[in-house]
Amino acid sequence: MRRRMLALATLVIVVLGLAGSSPLEAQSFFAGKTVRIIVGLAPGGGFDTYARLVARHLGKHIPGSPAIIVENMTGAGGLISANHLYRVARPDGLSLAHFPGTLVLGQVLGQPGIEFDARKFEFIGATVKEEVVCSLTKASGITSVEQLMSAKTPVKIGAVAPGAPTDNTPRILKAALGLPIQVVTGYKGTAEIRLAAESGEVAGACWAWESMRATWRKSLDAGEAIPILQVTSKPLPDLSRVPLAIGLAKTDEARRLIQVGIQDGSAYSRPFVAPPGTPKERVQVLRRAFQETLNDKTLLAEAEKAKLTLDPVAGEELEKMIADLFTLDPSFVEKLKAVLYK
């Protein structure tokens, strides 16, 4: 009897030890270490702003409370950082990247320069869905979509690089709605685009409203920057009078270009990603910590003060969305590819 009791007690200890091994191992691993978040766009823009918000609070929700730092690795609209994460970053749970998820669509379309397979990334989560809005400066003389549609000369729209939302959106709108748009690409981020718009170098740009209203707040409040078109599935609460792009489309093909090329990507457009091969238990630790961070009362108060919207997407959801992208109809893929890259 004593032997049986001893064996049972030993089994219970082993089971409990195994059940608690992951958190203990995670705490042991992350303690005293530094997690680096690589931002694929320039300082001062939306991606940088959200990454730094997360970085200020993420460490306390990871077992072992590692330090969190943010580094900007600009170039090719985030492509440099995405390729770096895939090919160079160590898959140990200490490297994350925050780059435009539209680059994943770029992989499906065969975008030149992509050296990753997005299906092998480990998606940690997203802070917000990207609801794209096009805003132009009052100084440009274009203060409504009707004025844009009737413009006699091409209207310059600032952009970052092929594959980025700032590029994809105006290119698709030009094809789907026949808008007289000239995409001026090559800026390192939306902070540079804002400066270019304010100096008259470009008329405006299209990017996430959540980011735009936080980082371009002063000009929007002063009426110097004016939202003229929202590329969303339904009107945003604070832009109820701004027309929907899809409502201006006159053909099924035009509507599908807007939906698949822009709207459907809203949920996966702003992911936080770990390299392929990152141990699954560390991925789960980071996913849990990410979700807890976005429910952190201190972070929520900071986001509200900065007028930053939070609409989280779990890593598991992002993973499924990315897999679904690779099932698009080949003929439509070719059409979208022609619009974006030719």
Say which CATH number the domain at 122 has: 3.40.190.150
Q: What distance in Å separates the CA atoms of residue 283 and residue 241, rounded to the nearest whole number? A: 42
Residues 92, 186 within the same domain: no
Sign of the torsion formed by the C-alpha atoms of 124, 257, 333 and 342: negative
Within-domain flag for 8 = no
Does some domain include residue 7?
A: no
Residues 96 and 152 both lie in one domain: no
> Among 115, 113, 79, 110, which Cα is nearest to 97's?
79
> What pLDDT is stored for residue 22 in this prediction?
58
Spatial distance between the Cα atoms of 39 and 42, rounded to a whole number of angstroms: 8
Residues 147, 254: one domain?
yes
Q: In the chain, how many domains are there?
A: 2
Query: Nearest Cα to 127, choosing from 322, 332, 296?
Result: 296
The pLDDT value recorded for residue 27 is 76
Q: Are residues 174 and 139 in the same domain?
A: yes
Query: For residue 225, is it within any domain?
Result: yes
Pairwise CA distance, residues 203 & 132, whole Å: 17
Let me know if residue 341 belongs to a domain. no
316 and 218 inside one domain:
no
Domain assignment present for residue 4? The answer is: no
Q: Which of 213, 230, 265 is at the close of a domain?
A: 265
Q: Are 136 and 216 in contact (CB under 8 A)?
A: no
Distance CA 65, CA 142 (A): 50
What CATH number does the domain containing 150 carry? Answer: 3.40.190.10
Does residue 62 share a domain with residue 118? Answer: yes
CA–centroid distance for 11 within its chain: 46
Residue 79 is encoded by which pair of tokens?
């492509």
Q: What is the pLDDT of residue 248?
A: 97
| Residue that terminates a domain, selected from 239, 265, 291 | 265
pLDDT of residue 9: 44
Over the stretch 161-196, which tens digit does the pLDDT of each residue have? 988 889 999 999 999 999 999 999 999 999 999 999
6 part of a folded domain: no
286 and 259 assigned to the same domain: no
The answer on 259 and 157 residing in a single domain is: yes
User: Are residues 242 and 143 located together in one domain of the fold?
Assistant: yes
Residues 251 and 302 in one domain: no
- 210 with 245, same domain: the answer is yes
Domain that holds residue 217: 132-265
**Would you give the end-to-end CA distance of the chain in angstroms?**
80
Q: Is 163 a member of any domain?
A: yes
> What pLDDT is stored for residue 5 in this prediction?
44
> Is the residue at 116 inside a domain?
yes
pLDDT, one tens digit for every residue, the chain (342 residues): 444 444 444 444 344 443 333 567 777 899 999 999 999 999 999 999 999 999 999 999 999 999 999 999 999 999 999 999 999 999 999 999 999 999 999 999 999 999 999 999 999 999 999 899 999 999 999 999 999 999 999 999 999 998 888 999 999 999 999 999 999 999 999 999 999 999 999 999 999 998 999 999 999 999 999 999 999 989 999 999 999 999 999 999 999 999 999 999 888 999 999 999 999 999 999 999 999 999 999 999 999 999 899 999 999 999 999 999 999 999 999 999 999 987
| Helix (H/G/I), strand (E/B), else coil: 204 | strand
The residue among 151, 149, 137, 146 whose CA lies nearest residue 177 is 149
E strand or H helix that includes residue 340: helix 330-341
Domain-ending residue, one of 265, 281, 302: 265
Name the amino acid, one letter, at 234: K
**What pLDDT is recorded for position 25?**
77
CA dihedral 197, 201, 204, 205 (to 10 degrees): -100
- Kindly state whether residues 203 and 299 are assigned to the same domain: no
Q: What is the largest CA-CA distance in the chain?
A: 95
